[in-house]
Structure 1
């Protein structure tokens, strides 16, 4: 009986493989027509433009923009980055664009540049057949994670794609020198790139020196300040390892859920995610088995990411998306050196492209974040100059970025726009948070609160809810309260936090 089931499964796999090969062959044959191909490629590029143009930036995107533009000088920018853990390349690009554009345009313009360049490279410079190029460009990872969200990871993904497409040796080494200046994970990918250049006979000691200088500069920019506080605690190693395997689940089937709802950054239910994660690892190693270098490079990168996640920083699912990106690009190189794609890989491309289509539909149906709606409510009701407290601290990013104002940080006792991670609110109990709210009311009277929690049933300090905005695709709801409404507003204002920040509207040369 067991043998019969195995035989039936093998027969089913063969039939699926045959069907996949025939379908891909027919579609690729149709796409040989240049007009059809240009229409298909243009449609994908238009979809990418629409996704970027309609995307609502969330906290992390605003944090980077505010650091880039509100740091009064370049030395101040580099000083602020010592609290971020990210090198300077993305911030410098945002700062350059911020000199030339209104600050509300900067993130979208930067992402347009990155996403369209990455899509064009895949569509017109990759060795895949045309339908496969469309599936890769339309995949969840390329279309949304790296192509729509305006973060440094998108820039790093484009540079990684450009490395595999580059033929000019000088350009290859310039890209490798830039990669560590995006993120530590892209620094790891740059090492993968160096090993590939060695194998391909493109190694250069001059290029290696340039890469070393770029890496040293990146390390200098992220060297932590003495008073930096990590935003997330690293779990014990075993727990971190289990969480890592669970987080691999959405790499095979890129559907993000939380508590039974679709939510960006979440995972599949635990039992499905563990199984899917293990299947992805087996699939990835199976797909690179024919080229020993590729198998070793992918395995080494996965191990490095696991070690980083377990011992240094608890990376989220979005960071792990670099693993399937590397797998796709190793298959790119395999085709370049005469290899072929297997039906199973093509079937996976179809799965991740369907996930890209699903997330596109979600993005057009509801906003990624509610930040603009919250900011509009505050401005339309004349509340932008009131005393606002943000809890968690990160709730201020974006909302008060649009308003070009600052919010009071609990416990720190001062106002700030972007966050400097030299302080962390560790309220372990609700009564501690309640006491903090009461202290602010004693010091300043009535004030306003923006939070992601419905707090009125859990606090003894009087709270009057004035607005609620349901969560976007990122899962962050917004609640606006008047705290201690029975008190008068004070004329006193909290001091501004260090370091000095300029207004976003002052950053552009066009003012």
Structure 2
């Protein structure tokens, strides 16, 4: 945590949380961003108490430690399972070190599991489910599946009284309000360029393709997306002897597959919410929740297969923890944004306008510098990018030079350009970036680019992929006697003066 360099989406959340003169204005700015408000409210409240940028890692760590501490100290699992969760890529890094809103979902799911036997007949269950719905959009789906679990459990309970159903109805209303708050915050999205194109072609065939698709949902947490999808589904069989848990898990898997295919593709942080959900259901079942079914030989065999598959899935994520550990040992940062900030302290670059491609990489720099940021594809200055369809999706290196020249002429400031691509590798190419953005490179426009822009640094590699070649316009603004470049082994970079 002490060495973590912040990624674009981490800083973007802090920028939005601190936008506006008051909380109401912040919520207006947040509308359509694609995330519910809870994380932003926590960051804004923390910054009000302690007005420092470090509230970003502090709040994330506090939530992540609470989630993992709750699991370690109160879950009913064997020590081996607890160890696999604590010492995993998600348990020790993604949901603790990386400052995002997904660790709140983990904490709330574990809270529901830990308190379920005491709160299932109180409005606290509805409140926690509503809270879960406002952590992130995939967790809104999981929140509904927790409510489904309670419905099937109550329906199966022949001794259930009318008062139990009244309380369930009250919890359903509370949960629906939570889902509504999530919906009105994220919809309609102003980041329409990030929405899957499959949303425009809805049909029965679309829903069918979503179930067998391996390119949009559950495709990151393993080198084999097909195997990952099979493992995720087979892990559900570990709940085969508890009807409410089994049905809720299957519905959750299918709903997430549909969401990742139709709305937006999953990444690691989204995908690992499902195993956390399965563990939460197991926690509830072990403590007597749900509807245990009679043991039969075939169900026992399926349960064993599912349990071992889930254990192998958890083990694979523990092995994956070696990735950030190896990066820490090698000195490779999560992103190169802090190195760029160090560069901008050079006298010839102070006050420089910052631009890059794609625009989204610029979102990280509000944490480190206060230089003006030019969103090249949107054609505007801003603190964070907007992933909109009507932006300049097709650019050339001539467009980069043109923007840099115009900005320099109008402001007198140098313009620093961050290229996420090592242009030395290409003479002629159409480089495809995220969200359908394309940069065209030809020998002619590359020659004009290199003649106009001064090369400053090569900042590579980075664990997140946010690594850069740094250029400046005009070329005469390039720092003298200060070069950031690769070490001889190509694994790290350092300032050399």
* Structure-2-length-normalised TM-score: 0.75
Partner in structure 1 of residue 391 of structure 2: 424
Aligned twin of 2:192: 229
**Residue 383 of structure 1 pairs with residue 349 of structure 2:** yes
Relative to structure 1, the CA distance from residue 77 to residue 421 in structure 2 (aligned partners, 3 Å threshold; closer, same or farther) is farther
- For the Cα contact (< 8 Å) 1:122–1:133, is it kept in 2? yes
Q: Is residue 2:291 matched to residue 1:319?
A: no
- 1:143 is aligned to 92
The Cα shift of 1:426 comes to 0.4
**Looking at both structures, which has the greater relative contact order when contacts are Cα pairs under 8 Å and sequence separation is at least 6?**
1
Aligned to 1:192: 145
Specify the alignment match of 2:438 in structure 1: none
Q: Pairwise mapping of residues 492-503 of structure 1 onto structure 2 (< 5 A)? A: none
CA–CA distance in 2 between the matches of 1:328 and 1:360?
25
Determine if contact 1:55/1:367 at 8 Å carries over to the other structure.
Answer: yes
How far apart, in 1, do the equivalents of 2:473 and 2:18 lie? 32
Tell me, in whole angstroms, the C-alpha distance in 2 between the residues paired with 1:77 and 1:102. Answer: 16
What residue in structure 2 maps to residue 351 of structure 1?
Answer: 316
Aligned to 1:165: 114
Distance (whole Å) between structure 2 residues aligned to residue 316 and residue 398 of structure 1: 19
Instruction: Note the C-alpha offset of 1:449.
Output: 1.5
Q: Does 1:86 align with 2:35?
A: yes
Q: Distance in 2 between matches of 1:232 and 1:70?
A: 24
Aligned residues: 417
Alignment partner of 1:212 out of 154, 176, 189: 176
Q: In structure 2, how many angstroms separate the alpha carbons of the residues matched to 1:248 and 1:94?
A: 29
Distance in 2, matches of 1:65 and 1:433, equals 28
Matches within 5 A, 1:297-336: 297-336=248-287
Paired residue for 1:404? 370
The C-alpha deviation readout for 1:341-400, integer Å capped at 9, x for no partner, is: 745544444333233355444345432112112112212446241233232212222224
Unpaired stretches in structure 2, ≥5 consecutive residues: 155-163, 293-302, 428-440, 479-497
Unaligned 5+ segments in structure 1 are 1-51, 254-267, 489-511
> Residue 55 of structure 1 corresponds to which residue in structure 2?
4
Tell whether the 8 Å contact from 1:396 to 1:406 is kept in structure 2 after alignment: no
Rounded Cα–Cα distance in structure 2 between residues aligned with 1:176 and 1:70:
28
Q: Which of 231, 245, 248 is matched with 1:294 structurally?
A: 245
- In structure 1, the residue matched to 2:161 is none
Distance 1:249 1:419 in 2: 26
Structure 2: distance between partners of 1:392 and 1:455: 14
Is this contact kept in 2: 1:447–1:484, CA < 8 A?
Answer: yes
Query: Counterpart in 2 of 1:475?
Result: 465
Tell me, yes or no, if the aligned pair for 1:245 and 1:277 is still in contact at 8 Å: no
Query: CA 1:481 to 1:347, structure 2 compared with 1: closer, same or farther past 3 Å?
Result: closer
Secondary structure of the corresponding residue to residue 197 of structure 1: helix
Quote how far apart the aligned CAs of 1:441 are: 5.5
> Is the 2:233–2:253 contact (alpha carbons within 8 Å) kept by the matching residues of 1?
no
Structure 2: how far apart are the matches of 1:315 and 1:234? 14
Q: What secondary structure does 2:192 align onto?
A: coil
State the distance in 2 between where 1:434 and 1:239 align.
43
For the residue of structure 1 that corresponds to 2:475, the secondary structure is coil
Distance 1:301 1:364, change over 3 A: farther
| Contact in 2 for aligned 1:244/1:309 (Cα 8 Å) | no
SS of residue in 2 equivalent to 1:472: coil
Task: List per-residue Cα deviations over 1:132-161 (Å, max 9, x = no partner).
Answer: 222222222322222221111111121111
SS in 1 for 2:471: strand
Distance in 2 separating the partners of 1:316 and 1:243:
15
Q: Distance in 2 between matches of 1:431 and 1:113?
A: 47
Deviations 1:206-233 (A, max 9, x none): 33222222222222222226x6532354
Encode CA deviations 1:168-225: one digit per residue, 9 max, x unaligned: 3343322111112122211111111112333455753333222222222222222226
Q: 1:148 aligns to what SS in structure 2?
A: coil
In structure 2, the residue matched to 1:36 is: none
Q: After superposition, give the CA deviation of every residue in 1:465-495 in whole Å (9 maximum; x if it has no partner).
A: 111211311012122211243699xxxxxxx
C-alpha contact (below 8 Å) 2:354/2:371 kept by paired residues: no
